[in-house]
Amino acid sequence: MQHYSACLSDLTSYLYRDLAQQGYLNQTECEENAKATFRSGLESNEDQSLELFNADSACVSFEARIRDIAWTESFDSFQHFIESPKSLIRWAPIADDLKKRDREIAENSVSFAWIEVRKEYHDLLNLPH
């Protein structure tokens, strides 16, 4: 659930920033909708068997992450996809020595996977890439 939360955080911050930049939402709408979307995403995928994950703590971290976003300003889309690559390394069930050797490859694979997700999102909404 920790990695899911990191991916959800990356995607949610990107989507609302992109919608704001496209002129669909203002600063306040972005922040409020992003918080609600993040919490809803966690709740809809809640797994009570995971004692290590705390949804409230994840929401607090997400709110801290988005607090200073200038939603309507232009941005580099890669800057939003920073939590999920780190999370993969942190939570992957792989020996630490292997994580160290393959860290760059694993992080890059996650970063590059987001490129296709962003493309599909833009295609679905008929937004410019």
State how far the Cα of 38 lies from the Cα of 57, in Å rounded to an integer: 12
Angle at 7 between CA 4 and CA 9, to 5 degrees: 110
Domain ranges for the chain: 2-125
Quote the pLDDT of residue 10: 96
pLDDT at 129: 64
Q: What interhelical angle do 83-91 and 2-21 show, nearest 10?
A: 170
pLDDT per residue of the chain (129 residues) written in tens, 0 to 9: 899 999 999 999 999 999 998 899 999 999 999 999 999 999 998 877 666 788 999 999 999 999 999 998 888 888 889 999 999 888 888 888 877 888 888 888 888 899 999 999 989 988 776
Q: Which residues contact 2 (CB under 8 A, 6 or more apart)?
A: 52, 53, 87, 90, 91
The pLDDT value recorded for residue 65 is: 95
